[in-house]
Amino acid sequence: AQSVAQPEDQVNVAEGNPLTVKCTYSVSGNPYLFWYVQYPNRGLQFLLKYITGDNLVKGSYGFEAEFNKSQTSFHLKKPSALVSDSALYFCAAAFYNQGGKLIFGQGTELSVKP
């Protein structure tokens, strides 16, 4: 079955340090991959996406993600974390060539401390 996994419920990082939020997927075919962020009491906002091409994708607010086909991973990264990055992050995979289904991971709570 197709699935998206975020193995860490919570990631704690000190401000100024690099951060990584992990995402792996188990799918057939070539999914479109996305990262979204949800701030407290807010809806979800798009950060970045991968469809094809360069394995390193740059997105909003200084975030980037690295697509690794052999490891079926799409980890979110940022070189220097900010306290304002603290939020809930979701990885998602879409299958537009298989009907349009979209699967989200469970979410990772990122906490950046000063």
List residues near another protein by CB under 8 A: 6, 9, 32, 34, 36, 42-46, 49, 51, 90, 92, 94, 96, 99-107
DSSP 8-state secondary structure symbol assigned to residue 61: G
Q: Which one, 16 or 62, has the nearer CB to another protein? A: 62
DSSP 8-state secondary structure symbol assigned to residue 69: T
User: Considering the complex, what minimum distance in angstroms separates the CB of residue 17 from another protein?
Assistant: 26
Q: Which one, 41 or 70, has the nearer CB to another protein? A: 41
From CA 11, how far away is CA 72, in angstroms rounded? 21
Q: Which one, 71 or 98, has the nearer CB to another protein? A: 98
User: Considering the complex, what minimum distance in angstroms separates the CB of residue 107 from another protein?
Assistant: 5
Tokens of 62: 């200084």
Over its C-alpha atoms, the chain yields an Rg (Å, rounded) of: 14
User: Considering the complex, what minimum distance in angstroms separates the CB of residue 36 from another protein?
Assistant: 7
Torsion of CA 6, 91, 64, 61, to 10 degrees: -120
